[in-house]
Amino acid sequence: MTATLTSARAKGPVPPLALFDTDALLEPEERDIAATVRRFVDTALRPNIADWFESATLPKELARAFGKLGLLGMHLDGYGCAGTNAVSYGLACLELEAGDSGFRSFVSVQGSLSMYSIHRYGSEEQKQQWLPRLAAGEAIGCFGLTEPDFGSNPGGMRTRARRDGSDWILDGTKMWITNGGFADVATVWARTEDGVRGFVVPAGTPGFTAHNISRKLSLRASVTSELVLDGVRLPASAELPAARGLSAPLSCLNEARFGIVFGALGAARDSLETTIEYTRQREVFDRPLSSYQLTQEKLANMTLELGKGVLLALHLGRLKDREGVHPEQISLGKLNNVREALAIARECRTLLGASGITLEYPALRHANNLESVLTYEGTSEMHLLSIGKALTGHAAFRA
């Protein structure tokens, strides 16, 4: 992620994370993966992100570029997936989100929601049909759980699946679905007589349509859609055979939230590194802005929170790679790291002054994106209550 403190000092001012020597906590392969993704972001994505954000565009062909790099489903085994450890996946998410949250969202939804749902709960036929194509970026996937009136309470979903002979008929609406507008396949969750079940729904199935959501102020370089299912007929083989109950989609969300624990820190790091460089060059009253005490206080406080967030993310990653990580621990990571990343991006904007409201600098773009990251895949309030339940044994979000 950055150089060691000793080597960095020899070159002048040190990068924020060098003060924590976080690279010393990584294995060589993990450092190599992070460096490879960072180079890709710097060369292929960063030069275009301002234009994509302004035009509310995410080129579909990026899927193949992500696939070629091995980013799609990289923490899964087999079927063309890279099979890396959780920390490597987290570091890739961090580097992607240093470019833009839209990039990490795409990779996260593809790998940790669409692919993971099929990998863990699908039949062998479903895995063979979809996972190699999704891993290569030859197909794009999405995950249909959230509904217009049911975000934090997915158990209240109104989408229904009913039997008609050996087939299933699905009716309902899903909302705020990342990748939905250009997805080739959707994992859709619906209520049946026997509880919540998951279904693999190919794009183009009669009655299944996607409508992109426009006029967004956040995650503009990302496709966000409404999915409509109107009498969608699916064969019995479309059901995810191992998915039983709401715990199945929630386990998928936990995979995606893990990526956010790391990813949000990328947006924070990018904002902070850019701002430090700006304050060193910007002169105020004939002195560099970085030479003032109030500026240094802001930079020091932001560096402290960034480093603490990275240490927390790495700890959770090591837990996940060893014995597994619990949902309430993921809640700790997402709540803290997204909240602090958003605060860092906002504070960086103040140091950038008027220049900070333009797309020439990334801080406000990151802050706008993090407003969405703060509430999707579990709002801060729900993560607070998840932690509270673990501490007290009482589920405060249920009457």
Catalytically active residues, by annotation: 377
239: DSSP letter: B
Q: Please, are residues 87 and 29 in contact by the beta-carbon 8 Å criterion? A: no
The answer to whether 14 touches 104, Cβ cutoff 8 Å, is no
List alpha helices for 141-246, DSSP H.
none
Contact 329, 321 (CB under 8 A): no
Which two three-digit tokens encode residue 291? 């030479």
- Residue with structure tokens 């699905």? 170
Report the alpha-carbon distance of residue 100 to residue 222 in Å, rounded: 9
Instruction: Determine the Cα–Cα distance for residues 250 and 182; give it in Å rounded to an integer.
Output: 24
Contacts of 99 (CB under 8 A, 6+ apart): 41, 45, 46, 49, 266, 270
Find tokens 């837990």 and name the residue. Answer: 319
Closest by CA to 244, choosing from 192, 177, 176, is: 192
Strands 287-288 and 283-284: antiparallel
